[in-house]
Amino acid sequence: MTKTNIEKPFLGYGLGLRTDHYEEILSGDPEVDWFEIISENYMVKGGRQLYHLDRVKERYPLVMHGVSMSIGSTDPLNKAYLQDLKTLAERVKPEWISDHLCWTSHGGHNTHDLMPLPYNEETLKHVISRVRQVQDYLGRRILLENASSYVTYKASDMTEWEFLTSIAEEADCLILLDVNNIYVSGFNHDFDPKTYIDYIPADRVFQIHLAGHENNGDYIIDTHDHPVIDEVWDLYEYTIKKMGRVTTMIERDDHIPPLSDLLAELQKAREIGETSC
């Protein structure tokens, strides 16, 4: 593994910015160090979303997290999308921009889901060249996140952690490590999440996602609608012990609870994050 000379900022402990919490965030000063926005939700010309975004931006550092870059797709990169992303970044001035290591479009149609890639040399080359193009266009490194998956392709001949690491090192991009997703995929594909974490180059991990999921007994669906489970907290502690402090957030996309519930979860992340390194 190559050592990078990237200086890794530490933003502290954050939350995803969700519509339900706008008022509470803006009227109080909740103890959140930063917020992550879903980029696509703000790629509009006006309205409440942008209005609130501008106000939150005045008070908190922001990072942008996208779900539609489709970095692994065989479709050409979506120029209009990248343009919108860049325009939004000029407005938000985020600490960084992330998306997922997956494909979300094929033949011009969008899945609105994070579809896994076959992990092999051919895909590797393809994705590396696209990450470079995106980074050149945006003029900055991007973070790629490991998504949860439910299938393994016959065409794969390497592990996801090998694949992600190669992409990061060869395209010189950064990593958003979703510890819950590692747990979910580990369960669905029978691997040890710690093997995954051990392999990932710590110096490239700029951000961590923690989330909950739905366990259906013989498989787990990554629903982001439950609190973080104990096993994932343990894995988070393991990750921090290995990698040192990393900018961390609680990711909740559905069944959004009151802000206070998320703040309590975030406090737990803070305690683990600050005492485990």
Partner 1 sequence: MHGRTEPFLAEIEEGGKIGPEKRLYIYAHAYRARLMEILADDFIALHSLVGDDMFEEICLAYIDAYPSTHPSLRYFGQHMAKFLKENDQYSSIIPAIEMAEFEWTFNDVFDDPDMKSVTVEDVTQIPPEAWTTLRIHLQPSFKMHKFKWNTPAVWSAVNEGDEKPIMPEEYPIQSHCIQWKSDLKCFFRTLSDEEAEVLRSVKAGKGFPQICEMLMGAHNELASSRAAELFKGWVMEGLVADLEYLKS
Residues at the interface with partner 1 (CB under 8 A): 40-41, 43-51, 68, 70, 78, 81, 104-105, 108-113, 115, 118, 150-156, 188-190, 218-219, 221
- Among partner 1, Fe ion, none, the one that 112 touches (CB under a kind-dependent 5 to 8 A) is partner 1
**Closer Cβ to partner 1, 168 or 184, answer by number:** 184
State which H helix or E strand residue 50 sits in.
helix 48-59
- Among partner 1, Fe ion, none, the one that 99 touches (CB under a kind-dependent 5 to 8 A) is none
**Closer Cβ to Fe ion, 203 or 222, answer by number:** 222
Q: Under a CB-based contact definition with an 8 Å cutoff, are residues 165 and 134 in contact?
A: no
In the set 178, 203, 222, 265, which binds Fe ion (CB under 5 A)?
Answer: 178
Q: Under a CB-based contact definition with an 8 Å cutoff, are residues 180 and 236 in contact?
A: no
Residue-wise DSSP of 169-200: HHHT-EEEEEHHHHHHHHHHHT--HHHHHHHS
Output the smallest distance, CB 108 to partner 1, in A: 6
**Closer Cβ to Fe ion, 157 or 208, answer by number:** 208
Tokens (6 digits) for 259: 């802000």
Output the smallest distance, CB 265 to Fe ion, in A: 15
Alpha-carbon distances of 58 from 14, 34, 51, 93, 183, rounded to whole Å: 16, 11, 11, 11, 35
State which H helix or E strand residue 37 sits in.
strand 34-38
Backbone φ and ψ for 165, nearest 5 degrees, come out as -65, -45
What CA–CA distance (Å, rounded) separates 102 from 22? 30
Nearest Cα to Cα of residue 100 among 17, 13, 160: 160
- Among Fe ion, partner 1, none, the one that 178 touches (CB under a kind-dependent 5 to 8 A) is Fe ion
**Closer Cβ to Fe ion, 40 or 178, answer by number:** 178
**Closer Cβ to partner 1, 58 or 218, answer by number:** 218
Output the smallest distance, CB 156 to partner 1, in A: 7
Told to check if 209 binds Fe ion by CB under 5 A, we report yes
**Closer Cβ to partner 1, 31 or 113, answer by number:** 113
- Among Fe ion, partner 1, none, the one that 70 touches (CB under a kind-dependent 5 to 8 A) is partner 1
Output the smallest distance, CB 239 to partner 1, in A: 25
- Among partner 1, Fe ion, none, the one that 264 touches (CB under a kind-dependent 5 to 8 A) is none
What CA–CA distance (Å, rounded) separates 258 from 68? 28
**Near Fe ion by CB under 5 A, which window of 45-53, 203-211, 228-236, 253-261?**
203-211
- Among Fe ion, partner 1, none, the one that 276 touches (CB under a kind-dependent 5 to 8 A) is none
Output the smallest distance, CB 136 to Fe ion, in A: 25
Crossing angle for the helix pair 230-243 and 259-275, to the nearest 10 degrees = 40
Looking at the DSSP assignment, which residues form a beta bridge with residue 209? 178, 249
**Near Fe ion by CB under 5 A, which window of 25-33, 149-157, 177-185, 255-263?**
177-185
Tokens (6 digits) for 248: 């961390």
Tokens (6 digits) for 195: 């093997």
Cα torsion 79, 84, 87, 92: sign = negative
**Closer Cβ to partner 1, 36 or 265, answer by number:** 36
